[in-house]
Structure 1
Amino acid sequence: MKRNNASSLKHTIAFYALLVSELICLPWLSAREVLKKRRKTAGPPLRRRPPVASKQVYVCVHEWGGYPMCRQKTIKHGATFDCGLEAQLERFSPYRASGRVELTVTLSAADRHPDLSAIRNRTDHLILSCNKGMDFSGYAAFFDRIKNKPDAYVILTNSSVNTAQNDFLESYIRCMERHPEIGMLGISYCTRMFQSLVRNNFTPHLQSFFLLTTTSVLREIVASNRNRFPGAGIGHKLLLIRKGEVALSRLVLRLGYRLAVIRPENGALFLFTDYRRWNIPRGDIRQTLSEPNKITEVRL
């Protein structure tokens, strides 16, 4: 317990140290944001993912052991919706039965869950993970299990996905096949890093409750992050968003791939662009939706 408290204190200090550094550099950082919005961002040359070597889709669903199987979540300044692990197990059950999906549940605070056998009976693997880092520690533990397997599509998700069900998987993979420049695809996004003193910063990133990528892209991400999965083990929530969710998207872009989102309001595919060509709503898109965190059927 003392070690966990010391680690959390360390990450809290790290987060506020970041804010102090931003405060010191605020005039320059604010000016940079203005310039960013006036010019096209070149970035690294666009790359293409290698074709996957396996038809298997590896799915990781992360859960905190203290949650009930069915629950509700309220988005800050937004709507309330039904979610939970039960809906995620139901969602992937047909794909698992057909052999298309290998399903892993990563569980933190496992001692708080009333019936681990109920999860084991409905998954291929159950991994007990660290609670620090939340879903990112679960994703890291899952990645360690699959990182040496043949290249395949990978879904990283948690139990905060809307319970609405649809047959989405093959159409999402077709999107990835038609656009090999996509390094990571999500179902929700935010265009600003709110955990910062820099106002109106344009930092588009995918939200971490549902991400589709490949094993090879994840290997590149981890290798470029000093062989550590972004966000794993971080014990301060605001720092975790910066070092996990935001950093993950930034690493994909720095590697030369594109980010993409299936627009939650209409199912259209949108490839992330620079500020001047960004023509969809800005901010946290979930705050504008009547059904946030929903896997929307794709419109190809």
Structure 2
Amino acid sequence: MTSEQDSAQNQQEWDDHVSVLLNEVIDYLDPKPGGYYLDGTLGLAGHSEALLKKADGKAHLLGIDRDLETLERARNRLEPFGDNVVTAHARFSEFEMVLRDVNWDQLDGALIDIGVSSMQIDQAERGFSFKTEGPLDMRMDPSGGMPPASSIVNKASYEKLKFIIGRYGEDPMCGRIAKAIIEARSISPIETTTQLASIVEKAYPAKWRAKSRNHPATRTFQALRMVVNSELEELEAFLKRILDHLRPGGRLAVITFHSLEDRMVKRMFKEESTGCICPKQIPVCICNHTPNIKLITRKPVTASPEELKINSRSSSAKLRVVEKL
């Protein structure tokens, strides 16, 4: 396949892209004409397009994304909705700054989808996938000044690499992988995705490789991507402030793909939906904490069997929704 054919195939796949848990998100947010909604991870605008259509094209949407190329494609997709759509190049943790810029304050609904888009994965030059040869980059916003994944792989100490792969990738082989990386880079720098994938694969015991459902490098790549893009820090900053900008009755929907992210969302939603949060050993409440939200989904919503058949990437997606009191 030529590069032109490959590019055309990717373009068709992006045009046909269906966002994960699409129907569930729209049902829970239940957008209304005249409402104000934030999509903090606009991506290819699948969720936003469906939201606007559900509101007969009469809702107001603010779409934020840190990836300039993805943002441009989203703008083109949402062009039929005219001035009802405003987009901004920013991280979702910067949503308050963007709200001020567009003179919005209160929202009727908000959504973030914490995952890598199909477009990012499918472009080898972005370095997100170990399946194709490409530079070891992994930055969602290459213009943002953050160092690429190759910088971490080639400069971090053994202890730091082990921590990153163990903490963010939750890989029990983190020590072996870190050691293998140190040994390989002492011979020559690790600059490509396939180089790193091969190193990680060889670090795994043969029995583990034989039994593994996924490629041995899956968790290492996930861990590096999360660190390069400060994904947990971004999520924490967003969750701490978004509720202040929801109107009473406004809903927040969060889609995660990683257990660390889901646990963070679950913990925050639990704290904000309960009264007293004093330690159990204190017999009388002294925190005076009152519920700020109510849980709409007490357990995470996952992809249906029908969705899993057409989109394998939805298998790890979890949706949690709350409503502002």
TM-score (norm 1): 0.26
TM-score (norm 2): 0.25
Choose 1 or 2 for highest CA Rg. 2
